[in-house]
Amino acid sequence: MAVQRKVFGFIKDCLRRASSIITMKGRSSRFRTLGYKCDRYDGALTEEEVKHITLNPVPEGSTNVPWRKYALLLSFNGYGYFGMQKNSFGCGYPTIEEELLSAMLSASLITEEEYQVPQLFSFQRTSRTDKNVSAARMLVSGNFNAPPLEVKEAINKRLSSQIRVMAVYRVTKGFNCKLRCDARSYSYLCPTFAFAPCTEVMNANYRMSWEVLQGLREILWMYKGTHNFHNFTIGIDPGERRAKRVILDIDCDPPFERYGWEWIRIRMRGQSFLLHQIRKMMAVAMAVSQGLTNLDFLAAAFSQEFVALPKAPALGLVLEDQHFYQYNRKFTLEGEQEALNWDAVEEEIQKFCTESIYASIMHREMQENSMLGWLVSLHFHTYQTDHSKEAVKNYSNMNRVRYIYWKELRGPRGNGTKNNDSGGT
């Protein structure tokens, strides 16, 4: 053992003289030095193993950049992707995270092992997203040994045009973007005819009246505050603590016209959201606004009882922003770290959102009529809290009558691909 320690100590001294600094990358399987690298061995070295240690010079021009924790601000159009998080179903189900990690691997920012297990370089995302959901501002974090500007440029070169790294921020060593996020803001963009009373024709010619707009706002305001959202997601019992969610603010912008259709954007801010929560919130708001049910049904959805709720299409859902109030207050006021705000790149973000997210949502809605097709199923939904067989039968018959009446009012439906006005009829 004494011989082993002397030999190993001699090698370390040689490396120290050559580079002056010996740093170890904790998540990989090798020591890193300024000029040399050697295989890492966590146990004791035998004389035979010491004889086979090789020192390979690093190519000239390389630099010893220390490993730092960075937060990457992403903007992406989620159409065609199966959510943000990487899944294990294979390459037939592309995700935003999978393409992002592939770009990092291609840029040699991470290793193959880290691509397979992102936790090895402390990778973390602030939020998950559903299929086809976009994000204007999404933060991810991880450890890198390259300057921030190089990280941004190297990744963007290898990403598709639907995904962009807008900025890279230096953060504290123990920063976890998911835990540090205090609130998240979402928006839902859709045609105004989604909230039209069922006695009116739902097509591209529909224009929302002031009375309908005010009624919609009153419906949305009922979501504000702390409620039990176990009916707005899946796999959560009403008695679980995680079923309680806080909606800090919710409202809708005034309707606006674009491409011959009238649109409305609903904005909401909350501490965190459950799977499918916002889509079910929007679906219930549409049902109440159309007159298919009333506010008592919404109040019952917050109760401990099970209530089946419809789920609106994901196309118009956008993660708008993520807020780090406490982190900015604690670390940036003292000058330790830069603030996690996006003022410096806000113009670039707005341009990407306008051209790649909002315009894409509108064009696809006009071409595919996904909202109008889903609204048909909304008329078949059973809006009841009494789950007896007789109640289910009565509600089903009533909704069939409503659907037949609505179908006669709307008239024949066009394909929506050639003429915008006929797309929503």
Contact between 322 and 138 (Cβ < 8 Å): yes
Q: Examine the residue annotation and report whether 13 is marked as an active-site residue of this protein.
A: no
3-12, 175-184, 320-329, 378-387, range with the lowest pLDDT: 3-12
Q: Which residues contact 152 (CB under 8 A, 6 or more apart)?
A: 72, 165, 167, 168
Query: Is this structure's pTM higher than 0.85?
Result: no
pLDDT-derived band at 338, boundaries 50, 70, 90: confident
- Is pLDDT above 50 for 267? yes
Residue 85: CB atoms within 10 Å: 13
Q: What is the pLDDT of residues 83-101, one digit of tens each?
A: 999 876 556 789 999 999 9
Q: Which is catalytic among the residues 13, 39, 42, 130?
A: 130
Strand segments, DSSP code E, in 282-425 are 317-323
Longest Cα–Cα distance of the chain, Å, equals: 94
Locate 59 and state its tokens: 């190519």
Measure the CA–CA gap between 207 and 286, rounded to whole angstroms.
15
Structural domains in the chain plus CATH codes:
2-57 (no CATH), 68-180 (3.30.70.580), 183-323+360-423 (3.30.70.660)
